[in-house]
């Protein structure tokens, strides 16, 4: 039961990442657009926006600027592989699980190759695929390093599961999601959370964990959710989301934890009718504390940006500065944090590379196929209709 619930948790976490990736990767370009068309209107009414749009202008000039060459736009039908992949991600684990888990790497890579080949050989556009490749490497470097480093930390909670304790874990997890990412926080807390509730675990425990720790919790920082990290790389200020969604974040968590508490309060049943009294020491212990240092290294590496540090080695492609030092550090952390982790922590967490392998393959497909979709959304954002809908708060 525990293994099945963890599997479901990781799959649903993957789904929560797919759609923010599409939205945030594109909306990260919107502040630059707004700076050109709405800076005068908002600079007086919103001082934060004024400073942000100036930051976006500078960043666009330094790195993520326009391409030197103009290419034909991809037709609308090229969005089909992206939509098809998302549908398979959503339905595969539920309706054709065996086929999906056996073939998802082939399907994801194949769909990506179709779109990338169309861009390169039909449109003659190599810029977009190259940008997608670099962004994928930046994305997966952060995701894998947080996942693997967190996997070497084992938290043991010898307490009786109560609605108060469960709610506290969910809230703490939601907060630290902004420091070590939703992936890191989920990996860190899912095992102790399930073990704590092993005699009364229900599907709602996993559902609310996903809602709060794996999704909503990481909405405040680029570290919190890797798709927001892509926006940060494109020039969105690090504290932009904190400044703009902190109240909504608090409201969402309060509502979620209140609903969870009410449901959990009514859960008085035990698995298999086991009502044998158990004595608890009330202690909380942590095995593998050294991995917190590795997590700190990953967090620090996030700010190693060649667009901010001029002397930093980088790859220049079409006047865009791509970092590789930051990614090398993150991949090194992923390797060393696993090799040097305490075996007790790895074994206690039942650590496996399969979840991150699945994410890596699926996001090859997502980054490879979502280019036409981003192009369509970007085109709409620059149209008259898009200008009327988009404001500095959207």
Asked whether residue 70 carries a pLDDT value surpassing 50, the answer given is: yes
Q: What DSSP line would sit under 357-387, residue for residue?
A: HHHHHHHHHHHHHSHHHHHHHHHHHTSHHHH
* φ, ψ at 284 (rounded to 5°): -125, 125
pLDDT at 89: 92
More confidently predicted of 388 and 297: 297
pLDDT in tens, 370-382: 999 988 888 877 8
Instruction: Indicate whether this model's pTM tops 0.85.
Output: no
Q: Taking the mean position of all CA atoms in its chain, how far away is CA 285?
A: 28
pLDDT at 393: 58
Mean pLDDT over all residues of the chain?
81
- pLDDT band with cut points at 50, 70 and 90 for residue 268: confident
Asked if 79 and 376 count as a contact pair (C-beta separation under 8 A), the reply is: yes
pLDDT at 309: 86
Q: What DSSP line would sit under 135-204, residue for residue?
A: HHHHHHHHHHHHHHHHHT-EEEE-S---HHHHHHHHHHHHHHHHHHHHHHHHHHHHHHHHHHTTTT--HH
Could you give the percent of the chain with pLDDT greater than 90? 49
Across 287-312, average pLDDT: 91
Asked whether residue 38 carries a pLDDT value surpassing 90, the answer given is: no
pLDDT in tens, 189-231: 999 999 999 888 899 999 999 999 999 999 999 998 877 888 8
More confidently predicted of 283 and 2: 283
Across 101-128, average pLDDT: 94
- To which residue do tokens 């056996």 refer? 102
pLDDT at 261: 96
Across 306-319, average pLDDT: 87
Across 143-165, average pLDDT: 92
């Amino acid at each position: 039961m525990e293994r099945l619930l963890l599997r479901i948790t990781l799959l649903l976490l993957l789904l929560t990442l797919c759609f923010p990736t599409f939205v945030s990767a594109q909306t990260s370009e919107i502040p630059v657009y707004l700076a050109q068309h709405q800076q005068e209107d908002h600079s007086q009414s919103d001082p934060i926006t004024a400073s942000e749009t100036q930051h976006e202008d500078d960043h666009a000039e330094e790195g993520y600027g326009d391409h030197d060459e103009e290419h034909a736009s991809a037709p609308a039908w090229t969005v089909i592989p992206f939509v098809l992949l998302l549908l398979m991600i959503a339905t595969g684990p539920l309706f054709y699980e065996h086929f999906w888990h056996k073939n998802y790497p082939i399907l994801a890579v194949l769909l990506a190759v179709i779109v990338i080949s169309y861009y390169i050989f039909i449109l003659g556009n190599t810029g977009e695929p190259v940008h997608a490749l670099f962004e994928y490497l930046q994305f997966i470097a952060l995701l894998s390093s947080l996942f693997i480093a967190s996997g070497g930390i084992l938290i043991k909670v010898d307490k009786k599961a109560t609605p108060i304790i469960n709610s506290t874990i969910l809230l703490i997890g939601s907060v630290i999601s902004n420091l070590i990412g939703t992936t890191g926080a989920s990996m860190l807390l899912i095992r102790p959370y399930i073990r704590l509730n092993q005699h009364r675990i229900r599907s709602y425990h996993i559902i609310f964990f996903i809602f709060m720790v794996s999704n909503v919790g990481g909405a405040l920082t680029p570290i919190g959710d890797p798709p927001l990290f892509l926006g940060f790389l494109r020039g969105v200020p690090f504290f932009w989301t904190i400044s703009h969604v902190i109240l909504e974040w608090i409201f969402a968590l309060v509502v979620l934890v209140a609903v969870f508490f009410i449901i959990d309060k009514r859960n008085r049943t035990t698995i298999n009718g086991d009502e044998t009294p158990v004595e608890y020491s009330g202690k909380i212990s942590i095995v593998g504390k050294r991995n917190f240092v590795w997590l700190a290294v990953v967090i620090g590496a996030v700010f190693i940006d060649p667009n901010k540090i001029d002397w930093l080695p980088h790859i220049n492609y079409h006047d865009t500065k791509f970092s590789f030092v930051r990614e090398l550090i993150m991949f090194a952390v992923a390797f060393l944090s696993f090799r040097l982790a305490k075996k007790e922590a790895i074994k206690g967490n039942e650590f496996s590379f399969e979840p991150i392998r699945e994410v890596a393959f699926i996001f090859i497909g997502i980054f490879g196929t979502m280019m036409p979709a981003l192009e369509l959304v970007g085109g709409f954002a620059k149209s008259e209709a898009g200008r009327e809908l988009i404001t500095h708060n959207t």
